[in-house]
Structure 1
Amino acid sequence: MVKFKINDQEVEAQPGWTVLETARHYGIHIPTLCYHEAVEPSGACRLCVVELKDGDWSKVVISCMYPVQEGLNVYTDSERVTNVRRWILEMLISECPASEEIRALAKEYGVNTTRFAEKDPEGQCILCGLCVRVCAEVVGADAITTVGRGVHKAIGAPYMVPADACVACGSCLTVCPTGAMAARIDKVRGEPKVKLLRSGR
């Protein structure tokens, strides 16, 4: 077992666990958006940041991908962590102004406005890739992908053509943290294979 501290509380973790996994094991809350136990972590949203301290030295890391180490001193709600989360939530509000989930989370941190320019008044997607990962890693359908680059980056079907590979399982809807997938599912999903098989086509 690996022994370290979270918020000055002694904890033990299995080798290979992350800081986030350990915190959840002990019921210590760390906010996340792009993390789900069913798929590999990606660190896309950065909201799960924590601060590592050792004397005068400290640094902020993403807890969903940071492996546990003997003797770590982890703080999940320090002033530095809170400031980083507020900054991230300001950016998310500008990217996803239509997401009630993002606004509710931001309100918990006292963030009601953003200094960043609003990109799309109807925006809900944070491009976390959870839908892509669950479709590939859990369902094995690869019916959803990330298309485009930079400011043109988006989530959709490969080549933006509704995919017959979709099996209409709803996994992407279940893991989406902002509700964005519900609004675009018909643009991703072609005629489900299960329907094609039943019709004999």
Structure 2
Amino acid sequence: MINFTIDGKPIQLEEPESILNAAKRLGIEIPTLCYHEKLSPYGGCRICLVEAAPGSAPERSKLVPACASRVEEGLIIKTSTQRVREARKFNIELLLSRSPDSEEIRQTAREIGVDPDNRSALDSVGEYLLYRAPRIRHTKCILCGLCVRVCAEITERDALCFENRGMKRRVVPPFDKVADTCIGCGSCAYVCTTNTITIEEVT
């Protein structure tokens, strides 16, 4: 048995699972944007950050993505500390600056306590992004990787992939050309958080 606590509540599990799913057992909702229960965890959006510390050294807490981190014996998990809230707010502001018109991002921002229409705060983050990578603003894609994972893990077609690293990272077909492996199933559009990918009928 695995014994640990979430927000001071003791919980016991027979098998290890993600902090995200363990929290759900206690009715604790942790916001996510890049998580899907049928796909492998990615931890790309950083919205599900929580504080976790070993029971033997509670002062050694660190921020970890709840979707991609598993519970351990004696683990002390906190889902709503000031440190957690500030980290989530900063990350959603980054995503808002990148995708200001995405209703999904705007709704998540409201849930976290960030006003999506507060341009002064978002523009300061946006200036940072513009300085680092001028092409990054005003795109709906938040690089959550859901489309890449569903194409690889569910349809097993690998018709999408990530290109480049860091601020220049983007989702493209392999070699940035229409993939012969794509069967037009629409799975990528179905899981897309921000409606960046849409399916159009070709006549």
Using structure 1 for the length normalisation, give the TM-score: 0.82
TM-aligned CA deviation for residue 15 of structure 1: 2.8
Q: 1:195 maps to what in 2?
A: none
TM-aligned CA deviation for residue 52 of structure 1: 2.2
Structure 2 stretches of 5 or more lacking a match? 131-135
Secondary structure in 2 aligned to 1:105?
Answer: helix
Q: 1:9 maps to what in 2?
A: 9
- Structure 2 counterpart of 1:164, from 177, 180, 184: 180
User: Does 1:110 find its partner at 2:113?
Assistant: yes
| Distance 1:57-1:134 versus aligned 2 partners, 3 A rule | same
Letter of the 2:21 partner, please give it: E
- 2: CA distance, partners of 1:57 / 1:34: 27
Contact 1:13–1:68, Cα closer than 8 Å, also in 2: no
Secondary structure in 2 aligned to 1:180?
Answer: coil
Q: 1:173 maps to what in 2?
A: 189
Q: 1:45 maps to what in 2?
A: 45
Contact 1:35–1:43, Cα closer than 8 Å, also in 2: yes
TM-aligned CA deviation for residue 99 of structure 1: 0.9
| Distance 1:5-1:178 versus aligned 2 partners, 3 A rule | same
Secondary structure in 2 aligned to 1:139?
Answer: coil
- 2: CA distance, partners of 1:122 / 1:52: 34
User: Does 1:88 find its partner at 2:97?
Assistant: no
TM-aligned CA deviation for residue 111 of structure 1: 1.7
Q: 2:33 maps to what in 1?
A: 33
Contact 2:98–2:138, Cα closer than 8 Å, also in 1: no
Letter of the 2:80 partner, please give it: D
Secondary structure in 1 aligned to 2:154?
Answer: helix
Q: 1:140 maps to what in 2?
A: 156
Mean Cα deviation higher: 35-44 or 47-56: 47-56
Secondary structure in 2 aligned to 1:71?
Answer: coil
- 2: CA distance, partners of 1:144 / 1:5: 39
Structure 1 stretches of 5 or more lacking a match? 192-201
Using structure 2 for the length normalisation, give the TM-score: 0.82
Identity, % of aligned positions: 42
Give the alignment of 1:117-156 within 5 angstroms.
117=126, 122-156=138-172
Contact 1:93–1:102, Cα closer than 8 Å, also in 2: yes
Secondary structure in 1 aligned to 2:61?
Answer: strand
TM-aligned CA deviation for residue 55 of structure 1: 4.6
Aligned residues: 186
Letter of the 1:22 partner, please give it: A
- 2: CA distance, partners of 1:14 / 1:126: 35
TM-aligned CA deviation for residue 57 of structure 1: 4.0
User: Does 1:75 find its partner at 2:78?
Assistant: yes
- 2: CA distance, partners of 1:180 / 1:159: 20
